[in-house]
Amino acid sequence: MSHWIIVPIVLPALTAALLLLCAARPMPLQRWISGTATVALAATCVGLTASLDEAPRVYLLGNWPAPYGIVLVLDRLSALMLTLTAGVALVCLAGAMNGWDAEGPAGKRYFHALFQFQLMGLNGAFLTGDLFNLFVFFEVLLIASYGLLTHGGGAARARAGVHYVVINLTGSALFLVGVALLYGVAGTLNMADLARSVGRLEGEAAVLAEVAGLILLIVFGVKAALFPLYFWLPTAYTAAAAPVAALFALMTKVGVYAILRVFPLIFGDQGTEGGVAAPWLLPAGLITLGLGTLGALAATDFGRLTAYLTLASVGTLLAAVGLFTPQAVASALFYLVHSTLVTAALFLLWERVAAERGFAGDRFQRGPRLGRPLLLSGTYAFLAAAAVGLPPFSGFLGKVMILESARGTGATLAVWSVVLATGLLALFAVARAGSRLFWDLSRESPPGSQAASLAQAAPILSLAAALAGLVALASPFRTFTDRAAQELFDVERYAATVLRHPALPQRGLPSLPSEEAPR
């Protein structure tokens, strides 16, 4: 049993604890500790992804075999999310080190500790093979993200933080209700064990399991910002500091991941691969896509435009996931990586544009001449074209894959019409924003403007380079997402791998059985 699987959880947890002890220490020390740990985390995640073989890898905490103990499971989907999280986190941390991390009361700096706790929660959610521990890591995410959202203070962040916490605590309460219902009828919360037991339920027990599934869909919909549960996202993301908002590009993907992990695995034998989620997810995703695009058209500043583009990308993702076929899920995973990278880059660019425009900030109004107009406008043009899906960018490839996966299904007309129409409207939105930000300029330079240095622009440019790399490596990456999607729908193999994974023999102690417990 390889202990490397638990490193993405333990490393940020220990780093966060160390950073709490160093809260009163000089900021360079905190930056060095946090940066070194994040680089090590990224290297570990890449190594874990490279070491994958045909079957998922299982780690038994406390050496208790499933379903008696807690398990971590590493397959291609979780490895993809771990690597994406580590990469984006590294870039966001570099952006925060330009000065955002030093905000707050003098003498106590908690940004880096909160940042590491956030990574712990994200990685734990992607690795856990147990529904209750998914809830636990969701709560770690909630606490850390609230601290990051309100970091630096201010009335706008306080208001956004209250709304964010209230909505997510409500979701957490519903999560507990759904988990309790499932445990009551199935007697287990291990996902692999639930995959075998839920399909055998009959009568009232089957109805209660279906109700639990619908409750979990609501909970994950809140995390993913799915219609009609998305109203918290634009305010929260635009109130946060730019590097925090860029990191939050991963937050909605946790909800998408949970839907992908739970419904084909646990509820996939109830008529369709998505079970109780299948009738609801596709229309809700298309509505989210439409409303997110309309919000981008109506946006009056760069930050809100990016927040609504994030919402539109969630709608595109969940519309593809809602088809619940291996081809559609593989396409969704390709688009997931693209949308996370491009929205994170746009949030970081938002900060630099606002700093250079002085009194005009990020508002769509006549502003002063920029210090580095070619760098910022060129980067914006690249990211905007990628975000709306113009060829030959990765957004175009992802959308083509999604449209192709919808062919031959009953939703072909709906998916094609909504995706194509919203893409055209999003193009209008980003073109209007670009013309107001970079063309409608006065001659004088603002007295308080800050021209972006290459070091400050490096995090944005690195994400743009990653998007270009995604295009160059589209074929092998699509092969990877195809295999990840096939693993998701191979429920019996997942269940057998987890439930039959043997515990290490302990000297002087009898081994517990690793097969499924009798009922």
What is the rounded distance in angstroms from the CA atom of residue 400 to the CA atom of residue 405? 9
- Sign, CA dihedral 273-275-279-281, equals negative
213 is a domain residue: yes
106 is a domain residue: yes
What the block records as the tokens of 39 is: 């680089």
Nearest to 429 by CA among 391, 465, 384, 473: 384
401 is a domain residue: yes
Per the listing, tokens 């298309």 go with 286
SS3 485: helix
Angle (CA) 429 247 149, round 5°: 95
Q: What is the pLDDT of residue 27?
A: 79
Q: Is the CB of residue 332 less than 8 Å from the CB of residue 264?
A: no
DSSP string, 102-169: G-SSTT---HHHHHHHHHHHHHHHHHB-BHHHHHHHHHHHHHHHHHHHTTT--HHHHHHHHHHHHHHH
Number of domains in the chain: 1
Position 38, amino acid: T
> Residue-wise pLDDT tens for the chain (519 aa)?
478 899 999 999 999 999 988 877 777 888 899 999 999 999 999 999 998 887 888 888 877 777 788 899 999 999 999 999 999 999 999 888 877 777 665 545 788 889 999 999 999 999 998 999 999 999 998 889 888 888 876 777 888 888 888 888 898 999 999 999 999 998 889 998 898 888 888 888 888 988 998 999 999 999 888 988 888 888 888 888 888 999 988 988 999 999 999 988 888 754 446 677 778 889 999 999 999 999 999 998 898 999 999 999 999 999 999 888 899 999 999 999 999 999 999 999 988 888 887 777 778 887 777 777 788 888 999 999 999 999 999 999 999 999 999 888 888 899 999 999 999 999 999 999 988 888 866 656 555 555 566 777 889 999 999 999 999 999 999 999 999 999 988 888 888 888 876 666 654 445 444 444 443
Q: Is the CB of residue 230 less than 8 Å from the CB of residue 289?
A: no
Interstrand relation of 71-74 and 57-60 (parallel, antiparallel or unpaired) = antiparallel
What is the rounded distance in angstroms from the CA atom of residue 155 to the CA atom of residue 288? 29
Q: What is the pLDDT of residue 73?
A: 92
What are the C-alpha distances in Å from 29 to residues 19, 25, 101, 104, 280? Answer: 9, 7, 12, 17, 49
Q: Is the CB of residue 499 less than 8 Å from the CB of residue 67?
A: yes
To 10 degrees, what angle do helices 373-388 and 394-406 make?
10
Q: Is the CB of residue 314 less than 8 Å from the CB of residue 287?
A: no
365 is a domain residue: yes
| Structural Rg of the chain based on CA atoms | 23
What are the C-alpha distances in Å from 202 to residues 178, 206, 209, 306, 509? Answer: 18, 5, 10, 47, 39
What is the rounded distance in angstroms from the CA atom of residue 426 to the CA atom of residue 434? 12
476 is a domain residue: yes
512 is a domain residue: no
**Percentage helix, strand, coil for the chain under 3-state DSSP, each rounded to 5:** 75, 5, 25
Q: What is the pLDDT of residue 108?
A: 59
59 is a domain residue: yes
What is the rounded distance in angstroms from the CA atom of residue 50 to the CA atom of residue 80? 10
Per-residue exposure over 480-519, b if at least 16 CB sit within 10 Å of its own CB, e if not: bbbbbbebbbbbeebbbbbbebebeeeeeeeeeebebbee
Q: What is the pLDDT of residue 66?
A: 74
360 is a domain residue: yes
User: 481 lies in which domain range?
Assistant: 3-445+454-499
Q: Is the CB of residue 59 less than 8 Å from the CB of residue 3?
A: yes
